[in-house]
Chains A and B, each alone.
Chain A
């Protein structure tokens, strides 16, 4: 009686699946470690991403004039926590120093410098945003002041006038000539400032989703891909171990062919990976409260295809080595390299252009791209067709290579 190859594949797969889930170590690596990594990376980068929103700007305003007051008011409209006094023992992270004679110098058209002092370990992104915000606020204040100055010139106010192409005098000079003018200037200035902005910017995200990846939203997909990759690549190491211990040779006594054995092993590991994927996505959704987009089914499908491609890679990898210790260490380094270069560790937008191209040489790069299409953009199955096709292509190529290269015995 001849057993069909499909039945043999499913028997080998079921056996491998059972043996894998019985091993405590494997369970820890498959289920516990990814959660630990998601938590650590998510906590670390959640604070990084929220740094601008929560950033604090201390204002040391030594000036009592209305221009500096206006500048501080403008700063309060920016997404910063503006404080002017610190509690005892509290450290200023970034401080805007406004000199004592700021208003007088601005009104007198004399040069004046504001200082934005940043602590050595202040968040770089928040520092850059603070810099831009202070400049924007300065622009707003200065443009209103120019309006007041222009009105004063138009009204032929004494003490400020145009002499040829350049300006003679200033609002300060004018106010010294006419008592009460300074108060009038302040009133004009405040009324101009009260007018709503003419030009505004409305920001939205492309696609259907509205989640920008940061914190757990970024750490969960990255670690999901990395740990599924580990699960699958280490299946290659298991093949090396089984060959060196003679387990694979015993298969030669069965009616199973090399490719059938290989596919059975691959399917067994894919079943493990499938359980891992579903578990980690549920943890992501219900523990870390991330958005899985509008098509979680597409996400599971994409990750299963990814498991197939990396599992095939793992089996091919296992077919290359004879020493289990070697394959184990090389597997660690390979998975770490593939994860990092594929964009699981850091946002791929930050790496030089060459590395963006390199990321697409690895299944991890395509998986991350597909995940973003589902989670970040909110698309469904049709949007990940290319990513899934490329991953499947990787998988088929590695299966062919592995079945050509695999030897059941040393």
Chain B
């Protein structure tokens, strides 16, 4: 035991004298969190800038005007930035990706609708964009339904009005009053739906946690657990690498020349890796709180979970180093393994945005249980019951990999008494 503690003390001193590599690894989670936060903001809301839409009106009739005015009013005006162009200019701008979509109103659009003939709006979407053109498509389809409905409802009065205009004479008073009589009930009927909202649609979200709906929701809290785990795994990796390096440089064989058991040395190396990773993690948590404003939740639950997570990181690294022969092999293999564990475990992009299949895969990665546990503690303020499976899995993996890792390292190092 004394040997293990001496190794821990010695390693800690060494790391303090030359902390560059650990600090550099700390930069990864901090840089990642800061970057995503800068782009998407503290609340993680994608604030869409105005969607640039080009509109080529080759019709210039009432229906085209209805469409244009409809898109320039109310909430749509806040969402869409419409620029009127001619078709050729619009197509040319779209071919250069200068707008999200182009709406082309064909010549004779109004006349066709008034004649009761089908008319088609052409929507050209920017293939470089996946989301904004879809929004424009939804809006255009809705506007098309509105024009369709209006044209059908007012079909009779419009027909009469067109008859009057094409009759080649002034309309008679009786014709005008007849026209008004036709239009009035229709206006009254529509008013019922528009002004009195006879039929309305209410949206509600089921079981939404208060924290996510709340303005105080911190997007950094969603991002940082994942990026933090990447940093912690890399720090465990570089600290556990000492075993390999010291074996290659002959330091270990000198240690084993003394009255030291290999078990003690391995325990010491794992303990010092644990201590250094724990300090790094504590630093990240403090920076997360002070720099990114993350409320980490219950300190006790956080401590228990983080303690197990770091044990797991060190255990996984000890296990992997049990198989690795040289530093070159470690250079080649370990970052790849770490990144794969992290990518599939939801460290690079939140588990919440993955599809169902990827979510199932994520649960096979130990990273998921660390990250999800941290999110439950900090975002959902989950109780012990909420994180019990996470703790069980994290501590279970820690135990198994540490034991297997220690045995593997012992076999690889040999030496000692």
Contacts and interface: CB of A to CB of B under 8 A. Distances in A.
B142 A132 contact: yes
B145 A136 contact: yes
A155 B361 CA distance: 64
Contacts of A136: 141-142, 145
> Secondary structure of the B side of the interface?
helix
Contact of B123 (A116, A204, A336): A204
A24 interface: yes
Interface in B168-212: 182, 184-186, 188-190, 192-193, 196-209, 212
Interface string A147-170: 101100110000000100111000
A114 B202 contact: yes
B153 interface: yes
A362 to B, nearest CB: 13
A101 interface: no
Interface string B36-69: 1001100000111100000000000001000000
A351 interface: yes
B306 to A, nearest CB: 23
A257 interface: no
Contact of B203 (A29, A116, A140, A330): A116
A65 interface: no
Given A33-B339, A109-B198, A212-B127, A43 B113 contact: no
A179 interface: no
A135 B198 CA distance: 13
A280 B278 CA distance: 38
B214 interface: no
Interface in A182-224: 192, 195-207, 209-214, 218
Contacts of A275: none
B130 A212 contact: yes
Nearest to A209: B127
A43 to B, nearest CB: 5
A380 to B, nearest CB: 13
B290 interface: no
Interface string A341-373: 100001101111101100000000000010011
A127 B184 CA distance: 37
A109 B196 CA distance: 10
B249 interface: no
Interface string B8-26: 0000000000001101110
A37 interface: yes
Contact of A336 (B20, B31, B343): B31
B388 interface: no
B118 A198 contact: yes
B121 to A, nearest CB: 5
A141 to B, nearest CB: 9
Contacts of B126: 205-206
A203 B137 contact: yes
Given A205-B124, A352-B47, A146 B190 contact: yes
A316 to B, nearest CB: 20
A29 B349 CA distance: 20
Interface in B248-267: none
A117 B202 CA distance: 8
B152 interface: yes
B331 A25 contact: yes
Contacts of A138: 199, 201
A106 interface: yes
A140 B122 CA distance: 21
Contact of B357 (A47, A142, A197, A218): A47
A197 B49 contact: no
Contacts of A400: none
B343 A37 contact: yes
Given A33-B339, A198-B148, A332-B28, A205 B113 contact: no
B88 interface: no
Nearest to A337: B35
Contact of A36 (B40, B142, B205, B340): B340
A23 B327 CA distance: 12
B31 A333 contact: yes
A146 B150 CA distance: 10
Interface stretch (A4-12, A118-126, A238-246): A118-126
A346 B44 CA distance: 14
Choose among B127, B133, B137 the residue with the greatest number of A CB atoms under 10 Å from its CB.
B127
B141 A201 contact: yes
8 A-B pairs closest in CB distance = A47-B355, A329-B24, A143-B149, A25-B332, A206-B94, A376-B127, A205-B127, A199-B144
17 contacts: A40-B343, A41-B349, A43-B358, A112-B198, A112-B199, A113-B199, A118-B204, A120-B207, A121-B352, A127-B203, A142-B199, A147-B152, A149-B185, A200-B119, A204-B122, A347-B130, A377-B95
Given A49-B130, A140-B148, A197-B144, 5 more contacts: A23-B328, A132-B141, A138-B201, A142-B199, A165-B184
Interface of B: 20-21, 23-25, 27-28, 31-32, 35-36, 39-40, 46-49, 63, 91, 94-95, 97, 100, 102, 113, 116-135, 137-142, 144-153, 156, 182, 184-186, 188-190, 192-193, 196-209, 212, 328-329, 331-333, 335-336, 339-340, 343-344, 348-349, 352-358, 361
Interface of A: 23-29, 32-33, 36-37, 40-41, 43-44, 46-49, 51-52, 106, 109-121, 125, 127-129, 131-132, 134-136, 138-140, 142-144, 146-147, 149-150, 153-154, 162, 165-167, 192, 195-207, 209-214, 218, 323, 325-326, 328-330, 332-333, 336-337, 340-341, 346-347, 349-353, 355-356, 369, 372-373, 376-377
